[in-house]
Amino acid sequence: MMLALNEIRRGRGRFASIIAALSLIVFLVLTLAALADGLFFGATGAVRSTNATAYAFSPDAKGSLIRSSMTPEQVREVSSDPGVATASGVGVLLTAGTAPSGEYDVAVFGVQPDGAGVPTTLTDGRLPQPGENGTAAIDQELAYEGVAIGDSITVGTQSAEVVGVVRDSSYQLQPTVWTSLDTWRAMRNEVRPEFTGVTDDVNAVAIITDSGVTAEQVQSEVGDLTVLSAEATGLAIPGVEQQSSTLNSIIYTALAVAALVVALFFALVVLEKRELFAALKALGTSTRKLGAGVVLQAIIASAIGVVIGALASRGLGAIVPDEVPTLFRTETLITISIFTLVAGVVGAAFSLRRIARIDPATAIGGTL
Amino acid sequence: MDVDALPVASLRDVTKTYGQGDACVHALKKVTLDLYPGEVIVVLGPSGSGKTTLLNVTGGIEPVTSGEVEVCGQSLANKKPEELATLRRKHVAFIFQFFNLIQTLTAAENVSLIAELTQKSAGLHERVEEALSGVGLLERAAHFPAQMSGGQQQRVAIARALVTGPDLLLCDEPTGALDLDTGRHVLALLQAAAREQGRCVVIVTHNSGIATMADRVVRFHEGSIAQVVQQEAGEARDVTW
Ligand SMILES: Nc1ncnc2c1ncn2[C@@H]1O[C@H](COP(=O)(O)OP(=O)(O)OP(=O)(O)O)[C@@H](O)[C@H]1O
Ligand SMILES: [Mg+2]
């Protein structure tokens, strides 16, 4: 162990190269992960941060809130199905809203305040109350941009007074405005004149299932409607799954590259130290000890790489423009740190067989 | 040398064959030899006569083809590599022609490296200092191998070998890379290890001049012991070549 540590301490130049390579990879991975998280959380907050555990959509909607359209009878039917504790309509409108501080692209969500699909992430003020029209809770992002409690947000000629702030609730990267179903419908009918006269439709049904009941079980009760869990609803938002899987595959590839880099580095180190390892074995050092030293070095190099890469990626995060949706999550950092350390250990492990094969006899007798 | 003592190591009818069929080489042929505590044995013989192979099988670094090797009362047959490594750590030390010190460690660190694996850390520092001062290099404790002469490096290697208190010291051409003066100094340290600490020291060499310091001289020829001479050992510092 002492040998392993001293080698890093005294051979800084050589270890600097592996640490630099690992730092770069970690930097790349964390930055991509921040982008992936930013996209995912920004796109799906409105269906993840509510009390709903599932959503039901009209048959042709392919799980899209915007494409779906449902009647009050369908909502009632869903609520009477076994396994459904609460079901209520949800309306969605992507539009532009005007507040005193400016005009914003927003997603207006109409929900039933004492029903399902209501945000659970209130950070300030309150949510609209049951039966209350003309009020709204806004996403924190709008608050950051200058919209305050007491302001009114106007869509067309319809306005709602801001009474509260919720967080992590954006939808398709747009900040949300949470209001009553009636207020939502009034706004929708102004923006989309083809709905004039329609007074009781919703887009989809938010469901709180009885505990232990899954979306699949509800699906089997509702006939031709589509029922998705809240999580699956997030993934069904156009682009979300594709983006996540593309970015995730780049991330996994980069981690595999990290393992490969470490494997190559230690393969070279071991090759170079064959004679020394042979001598140490002759002197009674076990393969296990030598291997543990190499693995320890890999862990240290990876750990330093993680720290440098994480700092660099946070540094970049601080200077990218706000339009780029990045989200640095501690969970992601921890997961990727662990993956990088594992990649380092796996990479180093390739050298273990090589170390095991070094024959102590080669240390002795220059004639061989 | 204590003739009544049990041998530190004994070889019975040891044969070592490398390769198979036409390409096979008989490196050792029915070698029988007992090694006693406190004696210096110099093994001489032409190149390829099996001297290094003798050290390798005695230290459990290579398995024998047939015959029996015992070290400190333990048979080496059927021992796993890790068990053999443990046995070496406790009882056997090697001195190499090219020292094999670790370049990134100081003299003191090189000396404590192996000892660290087996021994309690309490008092290790003192034992390392003692070993270094035993080879006259205490003031070089913080130096790296690259900052030392060949003779000094070999003395560090001897300190590394002795610090674990081995019963058997196996040296392959320990002076092969050294000039006469530094070579004598190194040999004197090996002789002292036998005389003062009762260790068994085996020195393999091409150099028949070294034989004068031996209690016993063993000559190898084509894998067999050709001659064993028990003698009154001279002083290591008087050897010449
Ligand atoms: N690993 C091996 N594979 C095949 N043959 C070997 C191997 N090791 C040794 N030999 C052969 O065994 C014989 C004895 O070798 P050994 O190294 O013991 O000789 P030596 O007396 O130490 O010679 P030198 O004085 O040149 O060091 C030689 O013929 C050598 O070529
Ligand atoms: Mg040899």
**DSSP per-residue codes, A262-329:** HHHHHHHHHHHTHHHHHHHHHTT--HHHHHHHHHHHHHHHHHHHHHHHHHHHHHHHHHS-TTS-----
Domains of chain B, start order: 36-56+80-238 (3.40.50.300)
For the stretch B16-41, pLDDT in tens is: 999 888 889 999 999 999 999 999 99
Q: Looking at the structure, do residues A215 and A255 belong to the same domain, yes or no?
A: no
If we measure between CA atoms, which residue out of A36, A43, A91, A37 comes closest to residue A235? A43
Q: How far is CA B129 from the centre of its chain?
A: 21
b/e sequence A195-215, b meaning 16+ C-beta within 10 Å: eeeeeebbbbbbbbbeeebeb
CB < 8 Å to B165, chain A: none
On whether the CB atoms of residues A260 and A350 are closer than 8 A, the answer is no
- Does B16 sit in the ligand 1 pocket, CB within 6 Å? no
Residue A209 included in any domain: yes
Closest to A175 (Cα-Cα) out of A186, A185, A165: A165
- Asked whether residue A209 falls in the same domain as residue A64, the answer is yes
Residues A261 and A301 in one domain: yes
Residue A365 confidence (pLDDT)? 54
- In-domain check, residue A89: yes
Looking at the fold, whether A137 and A204 belong to one and the same domain comes out as yes
- Identify whether A51 is part of a domain: no
- Residues of chain A contacting residue B164, judged by C-beta atoms under 8 Å apart: 284
Domain assignment present for residue A93? The answer is yes
| DSSP labels, A147-213 | --TT-EEEETTEEEEEEEEESS--BTTB-EEEEEHHHHHHHHHHH-GGGTT--S-BSEEEEEEPTT-
Q: Is residue A251 domain-resident?
A: yes
Residue A78 sits in the same domain as residue A191? yes
Q: How far is B33 from B18, CA to CA, in rounded Å?
A: 21
C-alpha A309 to ligand 1 mean position (Å): 51
ipTM of the complex: 0.78
Is A13 in CB contact (< 8 Å) with chain B?
no
A303 assigned to some structural domain: yes
What is the share, in percent, of chain B residues with pLDDT greater than 90?
A: 71
What's residue A368's pLDDT?
35
Whether residue B54 has pLDDT greater than 90: yes
Residue B119 binned pLDDT confidence (cut-offs 50, 70, 90): low
Q: How far apart are alpha carbons B234 and B210 in whole angstroms?
A: 10
pLDDT of B89 > 90? The answer is no
* pLDDT value, residue B10: 96
Cα separation, A160 vs A178, in Å, equals 10
Query: Given this model, what pLDDT does residue A366 score?
Result: 45
Tens-digit pLDDT profile for residues A272-309:
888 888 888 888 888 888 899 999 999 999 999 999 99
| Neighbour tally for A346: CB within 10 Å | 18
More confident residue, A350 or A1: A350
Question: What does the block give as tokens for B22?
Answer: 């036409």
A361 or B184, which is more confident? B184
Of A224, A250, A280, the position where a domain reaches its end is: A224
Domain boundary among A155, A189, A224: A224
Q: Is A54 part of any domain?
A: no
Do A167 and A220 fall within a single domain?
yes
Report chain A's mean pLDDT, rounded to a whole number. Answer: 90
* Residue A50 falls inside a structural domain: no
* For residues B197-210, average pLDDT: 94
CB-based burial label for A259 (10 Å; 0-12, 13-18, 19+):
buried
A163 and A65 fall within a common domain:
yes
What value does the mean pLDDT take over residues B214-231? Answer: 96
A255 and A207 in a common domain: no
Count of domains observed in chain A = 2
Regarding whether A71 and A17 lie in a shared domain, the answer is no
The pLDDT of A20-28, averaged and rounded, is 93
pLDDT the model gives residue B93: 92
Contact A286 B86 (CB under 8 A): yes
Mean local confidence (pLDDT), A94-111: 96
Query: Candidates B11, B25, B47: which one to mutate for ligand 1, based on the most atoms within 8 Å of Cβ?
Result: B25
Percentage of residues of chain B with pLDDT beyond 70: 97
Host domain of residue A307: 2-43+241-363
Helix (H) or strand (E) holding B52: helix B51-58
Question: Are residues A82 and A206 both part of a single domain?
Answer: yes
Q: Are residues A69 and A194 in the same domain?
A: yes
pLDDT for position B124: 86
Q: Are residues A122 and A198 in the same domain?
A: yes
Ligand 1 within 6 A of B53 CB? Answer: yes
Task: Using alpha carbons, select from B209, B207, B171 the residue that is nearest to residue B189.
Answer: B171
pLDDT of residue B82: 86
Compute, in angstroms, the gap from residue A129 CA to the centroid of ligand 2. Answer: 93
SS (H, E, C) B111-175: HHHHHHHHCCCCCHHHHHHHHHHHCCCHHHCCCCHHHCCHHHHHHHHHHHHHCCCCCEEEEECCC
Task: Give the pLDDT band of residue A129 (cuts 50, 70, 90).
Answer: very high
Residue nearest to atom 12 of ligand 1 (CA): B27
